Structure 1
Amino acid sequence: MSDTYTMADAPRTVLIIEDSHVQSKIISKQIRALTQFETVVANTMEEARYLLENSREQIFIAVIDLNLPDAPDGEAVDLCLEHGVPSVVLTATFNESIRKRFLERNVADYFFKGSIQDMDPLMHSLERVFKNQFAAVLIVDDSRMALAHMRHLLEVQRFQVLEADDGDKALEMLEMYPDISLVITDYNMPHMDGFELVRNIRSRHKAHKKAIIGVSAAGSGTLSAQFLKNGANDFITKPFEAEEFYWRVNQTMEMLDIMASLSACQEITD
């Protein structure tokens, strides 16, 4: 798959939308100190709108206070999505109703407001979303509904997404797009089940080069163990919560990054 830009020239500015000047300065300072990103700050939704429409900075993600004086119901998230900018939400309170609002607005992640020490997960999330836009994921499932659901979740995390409705087509896609990093496959499919697909992939690609996550319905017994024994890196039971899906996919991508770094270091020492 081809990118409109490379990682070297990709947008690297984080838009911070936070009405507290103190809090916004703390967040900005931490992002600049701990990541590769620059920041711009808006203390109101209208300032955010102006920056999104007029800023010379290339904004790739927004960190948003959910409740602003001029946007008390998360409207700033909708504003950013209108401009194609993914959002990470900060909140001082949390309950199931607030969580539902996050998921309905397709936020990439959410965190509690806290001390400076609590911001490490936020920094990690920003780095992950930045990397995801250069990673291709292949979903394999004969259910159009399941494909659409997983595609949506992966696109919220900014992955490049490809689809196949059976194992044979999946292998064709892997030949056509060798830069695919992750395959997410169902078990029950025509022509070739998930186990056979995993074995086929593993005969050509090692687990530290191309990751696989198996997926199947609840009550499937030993399917999870069989997926793992056949070479999958992880397994998810359907139906799954969006947060679990995000966590497992992103953790798998982190392991691929770590293995690639170790391999590069080994090549240098050799």
Structure 2
Amino acid sequence: MKKILIIEDSKSIASTLSLMIKEQFGYKTVLGSSVKECAKILLEHKGRFDVALLDLGLPDSTHGEIVDFVTKFNIPIIILTASTLIEDDIKNRSLNIVDYVIKDGIYSFKYALSVIQRVINNKAVKVLVVDDSKTFLETTKKLMERYRLTVFTAKNGKEALDVLNEHQDIKLLLTDYYMPIIDGLELVRTLRKKYNKDELSIIVTSASKEKKTASKFLKYGANDFLYKGFTQEELFVRISANIELLELFEQLRQKANTDYLTNLYNRRYFFEQGTKILESSKRKNQPCAVALIDIDKFKMINDEYGHDIGDIAIKEVSIILNRFLYNHELVARLGGEEFCILFDNCDEKETMIKLELIREEFEKNVIDLGVIKLKFTVSIGCSFNSNSSLDKMLQEADKNLYSAKDSGRNQIRYRK
């Protein structure tokens, strides 16, 4: 569980922040009100905190000593202050300071929570900074690393393309305009042929004061524009806004591609992605298999116990499948009580063994619902005819599924 350290001498502020963090994120919070208490807490917890919220106005920390102390534990720091005139020497006192919050009401606390979430989420975010100035690269890299981002650098557009090919999970790119070999404008044009705005966010930085520069880049597909000379706060706000927008797009994609009841992929995504996987496997001459799984006598479960219990049975299928499938399988709920698995680059014998283990698991599984002890089996039909289309493989698996049903259920049938 994520842990947040709060050192604040106002009990009401500390309690409010703690409650909001627990309610919104479910993170654990540990509270203190002085440098002395902070030292004790850090020693007890071995310095293992994900973020620290530190009040500058502590009785035993009149000159920001609390910041110096917590810095030794390499924890991202968010400063809490009542003054709107936060001193630059405090802001720049530690590379671990990611932001500061003016304590002036509930909105400022909400902002603190957004910074906490951003810093924690950033550990999984990779960014690329492209600039022909070594000084700018080093400075910007250090600033971004304050926010726990994983930062790569490149000196021109060509190097940037090489880095992106090697690290295809980079989500944000910060690029200069004027660079040798491939400049920023050509880089943006090239990248937009491969990446949509909801896949890779591009922020352009430039010292050019031409009024048309920003609009030119935005027309070619940049997401944002920053004039060089930006402050740490401005950089953080722009980066956060762009990453949060990418995350929002990802959440929307997840909702569109997953089944609401089981969180498995849905029918639409299965056909879309499954067709791509099958075509790729054909080009590589790798075998695939498709298996259809159906709950036996599912109508009787609904009729006897009701649809709520039927939903529990359907969810149990996803739980068991996730327990057995974790390598090269695409798993989806096609609808009702029917599920489908696409095995990519699979060994026929190993696939048959895995499906038999899944069948046996359902056979012995019991869902304890108190008064009700729910048991059910599944029937499975499988096709190894990967030279066919996905539709034909599904048709074949469906025939085998009905053969398993007609033969008494709780069985697997294959095309031999």
Rounded Cα–Cα distance in structure 2 between residues aligned with 1:62 and 1:122: 11
Out of 35, 39, 43, the position equivalent to 1:49 is 39
Residues 80 and 86 of structure 1 are in contact (CA less than 8 Å); yes or no, is this contact kept in structure 2? no
Q: CA deviation at 1:99?
A: 4.6
Going from structure 1 to structure 2, the CA distance change for 1:117 and 1:194 (only over 3 Å counts) comes to closer
Query: Is the counterpart of residue 253 in structure 1 residue 257 in structure 2?
Result: no
Q: Secondary structure at the match of 1:59?
A: coil
Structure 1's consecutive aligned runs of 4 or more residues displaced over 6 angstroms after TM superposition are none
Rounded Cα–Cα distance in structure 2 between residues aligned with 1:116 and 1:193: 45
Query: Is the counterpart of residue 131 in structure 1 residue 121 in structure 2?
Result: yes
Out of 68, 71, 94, the position equivalent to 1:105 is 94
Amino acid at match of 1:98: E
Using CA pairs under 8 Å that are at least 6 residues apart, name the structure with larger relative contact order, 1 or 2.
1
Rounded Cα–Cα distance in structure 2 between residues aligned with 1:156 and 1:198: 26
Rounded Cα–Cα distance in structure 1 between residues aligned with 2:107 and 2:127: 33
Rounded Cα–Cα distance in structure 2 between residues aligned with 1:232 and 1:61: 32
Query: What do the CA deviations read for 1:104-155 (whole angstroms, capped 9, x no partner)?
Result: 4342111111334541111111111110111001000010111011111101
Rounded Cα–Cα distance in structure 1 between residues aligned with 2:39 and 2:46: 13
Query: Is the counterpart of residue 35 in structure 1 residue 54 in structure 2?
Result: no
Q: CA deviation at 1:75?
A: 1.6
Query: Is the counterpart of residue 187 in structure 1 residue 140 in structure 2?
Result: no
Rounded Cα–Cα distance in structure 1 between residues aligned with 2:108 and 2:144: 26
- TM-score, scaled relative to structure 1: 0.91
Residues 157 and 182 of structure 2 are in contact (CA less than 8 Å); yes or no, is this contact kept in structure 1? yes
Out of 204, 210, 217, the position equivalent to 1:220 is 210
Rounded Cα–Cα distance in structure 1 between residues aligned with 2:238 and 2:89: 20
Q: Please provide the CA RMSD for this pair.
A: 1.7
Rounded Cα–Cα distance in structure 1 between residues aligned with 2:150 and 2:113: 22
Q: Secondary structure at the match of 1:63?
A: strand
Out of 225, 237, 240, the position equivalent to 2:230 is 240
**Higher gyration radius (CA):** 2
Q: Secondary structure at the match of 1:128?
A: helix
Rounded Cα–Cα distance in structure 1 between residues aligned with 2:4 and 2:54: 10
Query: What do the CA deviations read for 1:51-99 (whole angstroms, capped 9, x no partner)?
Result: 223316841110010121111111212222221101111111121x525
Aligned to 2:58: 68
Q: Secondary structure at the match of 2:222?
A: coil
Rounded Cα–Cα distance in structure 2 between residues aligned with 1:216 and 1:238: 5
Aligned to 2:377: none
Going from structure 1 to structure 2, the CA distance change for 1:220 and 1:104 (only over 3 Å counts) comes to farther
Q: CA deviation at 1:101?
A: 2.1
Residues 16 and 41 of structure 1 are in contact (CA less than 8 Å); yes or no, is this contact kept in structure 2? yes
Q: Secondary structure at the match of 2:4?
A: strand
- TM-score, scaled relative to structure 2: 0.60
Rounded Cα–Cα distance in structure 1 between residues aligned with 2:139 and 2:228: 11
Out of 125, 131, 139, the position equivalent to 1:141 is 131
Rounded Cα–Cα distance in structure 2 between residues aligned with 1:135 and 1:152: 15
Q: Secondary structure at the match of 2:258?
A: helix
Rounded Cα–Cα distance in structure 1 between residues aligned with 2:180 and 2:152: 19
Aligned to 1:166: 156
Query: Is the counterpart of residue 152 in structure 1 residue 180 in structure 2?
Result: no
Residues 93 and 112 of structure 1 are in contact (CA less than 8 Å); yes or no, is this contact kept in structure 2? yes
Out of 156, 176, 200, the position equivalent to 1:210 is 200
Structure 2 gap segments, 5+ residues each: 260-267, 269-416
Q: CA deviation at 1:19?
A: 1.8
Count, aligned residues = 259
Q: Secondary structure at the match of 2:188?
A: helix
Query: Is the counterpart of residue 121 in structure 1 residue 127 in structure 2?
Result: no
Residues 47 and 73 of structure 2 are in contact (CA less than 8 Å); yes or no, is this contact kept in structure 1? no
Q: Secondary structure at the match of 1:94?
A: coil
